[in-house]
């Protein structure tokens, strides 16, 4: 089973960035622990700060992977293009957010991804990713 985690802008700074909001752990160490926990899954990870690169990756994986776990970060609230890409592909996409975007500024309450996502997991910290993975493995 091929599953990819795609992270958007500034998520390469996890561990250093606003730890009160996003926690102290960097994503690489979280991802490696997740991979060790699920050794039989072909689990990969891609991060970019560039909108078009995220769209390219969604298109590249979106017709033969079994699942995409997408945290488009700030682009969630601005990108019609990423929303369209999620709509265009056949691979189911689960939208995740580390923080509870609904308890934050109102501009974070809008998502261009959610209408096209299979499901949305918000505000459960890095555990949000594992819960999305759990869904793909247990559906």
Residue 110 vs residues 2, 22, 78: alpha-carbon distances, Å: 29, 19, 8
Does 108 show up as a binding residue in the annotation?
yes
* Shortest reach from residue 40's CB to ligand DQA, in Å: 27
State yes or no: residue 73 binds ligand DQA (CB under 6 A): yes
Indicate if 65 belongs to the active site: no
Residues near 56 by beta carbon (within 8 Å), at least 6 away in sequence: none
Q: Rounded distance, CA 68 to CA 91, Å?
A: 7
Smallest gap from residue 54 Cβ to ligand DQA (A): 12
User: Is 29 among the annotated ligand-binding positions?
Assistant: no
Asked whether 136 and 61 are in contact (CB, 8 A), the reply is: no
Tell me if 57 sits within 8 A of 48, measured CB to CB. yes
Residue 127 structure tokens: 């555990």
Q: Is 42 marked as binding a ligand?
A: no
Asked about 22 being catalytic, the answer comes back as: yes
Q: Which is nearer to ligand DQA, 74 or 137 (CB)?
A: 74
Binding mask 87-126 for ligand DQA (x = CB under 6 A): ----------xxx-x------x------------------
Nearer to ligand DQA, 48 or 71 (CB): 71
Closest-CA residue to 65 (of 35, 87, 47, 41): 41
Q: Tokens 């960097």 correspond to what residue?
A: 26
Query: Residues comprising the binding site for substrate?
Result: 71, 77, 84, 98-99, 108
Catalytic residue set: 22, 97
Residues that bind ligand DQA (CB under 6 A): 10, 71, 73-74, 76, 97-99, 101, 108
């Amino acid at each position: 089973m091929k599953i990819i985690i795609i992270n958007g802008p500034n998520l390469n700074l996890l561990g250093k960035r606003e730890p009160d909001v996003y926690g102290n752990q960097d994503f690489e160490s979280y991802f490696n622990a997740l991979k060790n926990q699920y050794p039989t899954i072909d689990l990969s990870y891609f991060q970019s700060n560039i909108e078009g690169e995220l769209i390219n990756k969604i298109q590249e994986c979106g017709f033969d992977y079994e699942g995409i776990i997408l945290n488009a970060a700030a682009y969630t609230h601005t990108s019609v293009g990423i929303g369209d890409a999620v709509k265009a592909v056949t691979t189911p996409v689960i939208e995740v957010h580390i923080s509870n975007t609904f308890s934050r500024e109102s501009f974070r309450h809008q998502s261009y991804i959610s209408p096209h996502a299979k499901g949305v997991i918000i505000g459960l910290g890095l555990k949000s990713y594992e819960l999305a993975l759990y869904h793909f493995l247990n559906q």
